[in-house]
């Protein structure tokens, strides 16, 4: 197992743990203080808010880590950051205005 995979697995475990804690604090106990603290932790750990929200509102059973892991894997695969291209296409892409660019659409 490469170090990149190990880091990704650890980050995923952390995301799932925080989501489970958020579900408990925000939805089960309706504890605003605990929920705010957990959102601050998400920010402090530099976790993707979109990634956390995706799992939080996925309507999965939050006690089933395998289901959460599968959903998160699908989200990560759809939102992977790809390295920029090299060569003539790179300079063409950089010269385009943001209004002309089209975001990739991912349906999972």
pTM (predicted TM-score): 0.70
**Which residue ranges make up each domain of the chain?**
3-82
Q: Classify residue 76 as exposed, middle or buried by CB count within 10 Å of its CB (0-12, 13-18, 19+).
A: middle
Residue 75 has pLDDT above 60, yes or no: yes
pLDDT tier for residue 1 given thresholds of 50, 70 and 90: low
Indicate the burial class of 29 (C-beta count within 10 angstroms; 0-12, 13-18, 19 or more): exposed
pLDDT at 4: 77
Q: What is the mean pLDDT of residues 30-56?
A: 95
CB 53 within 8 A of CB 59: no
∠ CA 27-61-41, nearest 5°, is 50
Q: What is the mean pLDDT of residues 52-78?
A: 92
């Amino acid at each position: 197992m490469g170090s990149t995979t190990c880091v990704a697995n650890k980050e995923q475990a952390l995301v799932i743990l925080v989501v489970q804690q958020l579900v408990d604090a925000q939805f089960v106990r309706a504890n605003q203080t605990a929920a705010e603290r957990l959102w601050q932790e998400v920010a402090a750990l530099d976790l993707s808010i979109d990634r956390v929200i995706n799992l939080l509102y996925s309507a999965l059973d939050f006690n089933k880590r395998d289901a959460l892991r599968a959903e998160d894997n699908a989200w990560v695969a759809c939102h992977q950051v790809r390295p920029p291209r090299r060569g003539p296409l790179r300079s063409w892409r950089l010269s385009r205005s943001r209004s002309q660019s089209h975001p990739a659409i991912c349906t999972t």
